[in-house]
Structure 1
């Protein structure tokens, strides 16, 4: 029994020792093998590899993919005309020489990003100091980014300690004034828009008053003309009616008098509640007393 346990324990120790000597390098990574703190080997191809068990040899990994570094600070920079601007940028970079990178930069990607951020910002500051705001917003912006990329490449490749990295692209994503200037610009724009709006409203109100005044004038003129025409037509109608009455009544004076008496009676006794006190011998009731004044039948 003790022999079986010893064999099992020995197999487990052997498997653990064997597993510590095997490691897999992903196609997206570099494998760096250390021997007593010194770089022993850099593996660039993916696959299964062997090494000595710890502490004799250890392995770490570096990303070989294209990495993106975005600007993290919002410190303003001065242009050639001493304007304070804030820019946002990003850099596309990758590790190309793991040995040089580890010796001169650091053990992981974050170390390279931190140092690259400082170099890129200094390059942008130097180039922006030579250019105006108009240059940053015009086609010269491409030349600015090309110059920054050139300066960054010189910094990471030149000198006695190259970084072992490659900078693929440098881009500006935003150029803006500092917040205080931006706020002032917005206030001026707002005031200008309000002035234009008030001017348009005043012009519209004046035009509205002019249109209403013209409409009122035309209304008064139209009403006056209509009243004049109506009175003219009414006068002409009254004149024609008077002529017809005179012509008709002139043919038989007694009939005319009788017809007018009937109209007077209708106007006088038009309600049952009316009470009229008159002298029956008056001329008004002559046609009611008899046929004396009635027209003779023909």
Structure 2
């Protein structure tokens, strides 16, 4: 009865021993065997099945891929004493797992050291550089003719091409920080300035200045528009006076021709029968007097000639 139990115990012990004796390394991993807290042998970077001393050695795994680092946002004065907020980021990998284990132990320790190193390097370089060099690229250039900013037109803004530019500064940060990486077992691949901005107090001043400049430009546009409007209205008024003058001249010519034609017709009518024409015109004048009109004239007036002749009849 004891034999099967012993066999089962031996099999179980053999299985546990085999499991503790082997381990698998993934393609994205590298490992170091640690015995009693000290590394043993060379780093293991080949993927696949590997062996260790059971119950004595443990496996410390490290990532072989690129890892991201994001620094804390720092407030740094530039060479021109403008206080800016700088946010940096970096990419790094574990190049020497053995040195990495001895110096920083794990990724958390590595990020702490990167915080100290990269933030310090970024602060040193930014504080010794003009703001224009930080925010502009080396190939940055501006056509002044296409810029409407009042400060640019006054010459208050430097539009010269930067001597270094942001890319060169980032390369300097990478080079300065990389000198301290071998002792950590780390390869620093890239360092970038992710964001640059003014501090809150300076940002408000800049925004106020930008608003003032935009208002000045808007006022200039309004003034130019008002002047153009006055010019158009003046031109319209001149054209209107010309049109009215020409219309009045044409109307006078038409009235003159009409009066001449009427005079001609009157003349022809008077010449055809002068007595009848005189009689008709006199009747017209009688009708103009109206029913309640009073006219004080001599009874022998020629005006009553036809009325008197009618009475006599």
Q: TM-score range by the shorter chain?
A: 0.7 to 0.9
Residue from 169, 187, 193 that aligns with 1:144: 169
Distance 1:18 1:205, change over 3 A: same
| Greater RCO, CA 8 A, separation 6+ | 2
TM-score scaled by structure 2? 0.73
- Preserved CA contact (<8 Å) 1:80 1:130: yes
> Aligned partners of 1:9 and 1:49: how far apart in 2?
25
Query: What SS is found at the alignment partner of 2:180?
Result: helix
Give the corresponding residue for 1:296: none
Give the corresponding residue for 1:68: 68
Q: Shift of residue 257 of structure 1?
A: 5.9
Give the corresponding residue for 1:239: 260
> Which consecutive residues of structure 1, in runs of 5 or more, have no partner in the other structure?
269-274, 276-281, 293-298
Within a 5 Å distance, the mapping from 1:72-111 to structure 2 comes to 73-106=72-105, 108-111=106-109
> Aligned partners of 1:203 and 1:25: how far apart in 2?
75
- Preserved CA contact (<8 Å) 1:63 1:109: no
- Preserved CA contact (<8 Å) 2:74 2:87: no
RMSD between superposed Cα atoms in Å: 3.4
- Preserved CA contact (<8 Å) 2:85 2:198: yes
Give the corresponding residue for 1:252: 273
> Aligned partners of 2:178 and 2:3: how far apart in 1?
65
> Aligned partners of 1:23 and 1:262: how far apart in 2?
140
Query: What SS is found at the alignment partner of 1:173?
Result: strand
Output one character per residue of 1:120-170: Cα deviation in whole Å (capped at 9) or x when no partner: 11112222233222332335134433332232222233xxxx211222232
Q: Shift of residue 239 of structure 1?
A: 2.4
> Aligned partners of 2:173 and 2:239: how far apart in 1?
74
Q: Is 2:191 aligned against 1:170?
A: yes
Give the corresponding residue for 2:37: 37
Q: Shift of residue 235 of structure 1?
A: 2.8
- Preserved CA contact (<8 Å) 2:73 2:88: no
> Aligned partners of 1:150 and 1:238: how far apart in 2?
104
> Aligned partners of 2:6 and 2:278: how far apart in 1?
159
> Aligned partners of 2:80 and 2:260: how far apart in 1?
94
